[in-house]
Amino acid sequence: MIHFPSVKSLRGELKRSEIRGNMRYQLTTKEFIQQRESHTYRIALQNILGMTECDEKETKNLKMSWTNSSKYGKLYKIVANAMFVILPNRVVEQRSVQFYTWLSPAFAEQMEALLSNPVT
């Protein structure tokens, strides 16, 4: 079993949590969190400018080994003003981010609903 670092103080109410392969995905009313064994990516929903499903052409242009893993859902591109990457020894803030991730259809639908109707 994969050990994920605990996420300290989730912002907002937890709406969905999924573990697929070696990744954990969490969605709250305020943020999207994706975790690998030693990396945590946190994007506040208010910082997300848009989220689109990648088409086949865009997927082929990505030079990443995990672009063939359609068993995990569909590949999405999240464009955001800011994202925090939490590593074992530091936290890095990235600006103007294009973040690619696999989302299950149900997860993507719920995330799109929260982006369309933000909770204040």
Task: Report strand pairing: 74-87 vs 48-53.
Answer: antiparallel
- How does DSSP classify residue 117? S
Q: What percent of the chain has pLDDT over 70?
A: 80
Cα distance between residue 75 and residue 52, in whole Å? 9
Could you count the other beta carbons within 10 Å of the beta carbon of residue 100? 15
34-85 pLDDT, tens digit per residue, is 998 889 999 999 999 999 999 877 766 666 555 455 666 889 999 999 999 9
Q: What is the pLDDT of residue 111?
A: 97
Q: What is the pLDDT of residue 44?
A: 97
Q: What is the pLDDT of residue 51?
A: 97
DSSP reduced 3-state for 69:
coil
| Strand intervals (E) in the chain | 14-20, 23-28, 31-35, 40-44, 48-53, 74-87, 90-103
Query: Residues 89-100: what's their mean pLDDT?
Result: 94
pLDDT band at 5 (very low <50, low <70, confident <90, very high): low
Exposure string of 31-48, with b = 16+ CB inside 10 Å and e = fewer, is bbbbbeeeebbbbbbebb
Query: Residues 17-39: what's their mean pLDDT?
Result: 92
Q: What is the pLDDT of residue 62?
A: 67
Average pLDDT over the chain, rounded to an integer: 86
